[in-house]
Structure 1
Amino acid sequence: MKKMQIFEPAMCCPTGLCGVGVDPELLRISTVLNSLKKNGVEVDRFNLTSAPMEFVNNKGINELLNTKGVDDLPAIVLDGEIVMTGRYPSNDEFCKFFDIPKNTLNEQPNPFNVITKSSGSCDCSDGGCC
């Protein structure tokens, strides 16, 4: 099985799904990763705030940060090689990376009617949402 790691920028919590404003892209990624997990595919996800040593210990990611900075995050590592930077893979790209059928990652409805917005922050006034 292929091994994927996602190195994400600093967020207020491990998934970025906290506070009153939820970034729809982070919601999609969490849904995709849950679907993958249900199908036996594990993806490691590292947030610069909560797992900084993962960024230091990975030579490729460390070099990326030292040369290009955090603007190239998220960075996607597949089997030890950086395959994408600056964005998350689309659902189709996830399927290609893992050689799985497209219907494995069917979009799921928002059962709780979560209102989403992309503000670039978690909107926590006290900075302690998690």
Structure 2
Amino acid sequence: MYKHISLILLAALLGIASVSQAVTIRKQTAAADKSSRNPVCLQDAKPILGKWTLVEVAPRASGQRIAENRTWEFRPDGTLVTSGYNRHFKRNDTQTFHYEIENCMIVSDVPGRPGKKLRYRVYDLQDDRMVLQGGVEGFYFFKRQ
């Protein structure tokens, strides 16, 4: 009797583990497939203006992601304001950057580092989501607020 119960529990655990792994892989693959379909060459800032929630960052388009919860606001005057919890500084903060569209990319200043620029390519852009490639993290996954 004990053997049967142990075997049933083991089979159930193995089944759950394989299903959860398959779901994780599918989610990452589907997200990577969606994100690689629509590279955008920005002519101006109009498509990105407004507030965006930075949901996740990752070194690659697919694979492990790091959860974020920051707001990025692209303003028409060339100002980018980021706010929320900064996991690098381990506190809430607000930072203001100058940005411009240059050679189809978003180019921003780095506060406190004169002359230093960060470049972001718009990897994917839909009405409600955006993926940027570049900067410090690699890939930035956003939802429009």
Tell me if TM exceeds 0.5.
Answer: no
Q: Which has the higher strand share?
A: 2
Q: Which has the higher helix share?
A: 1
Tell which structure's C-alpha radius of gyration is larger.
2
Higher RCO structure, 1 or 2 (CA under 8 Å, sep 6+): 1
What is the TM-score when the length of structure 1 is the normalising length? 0.28
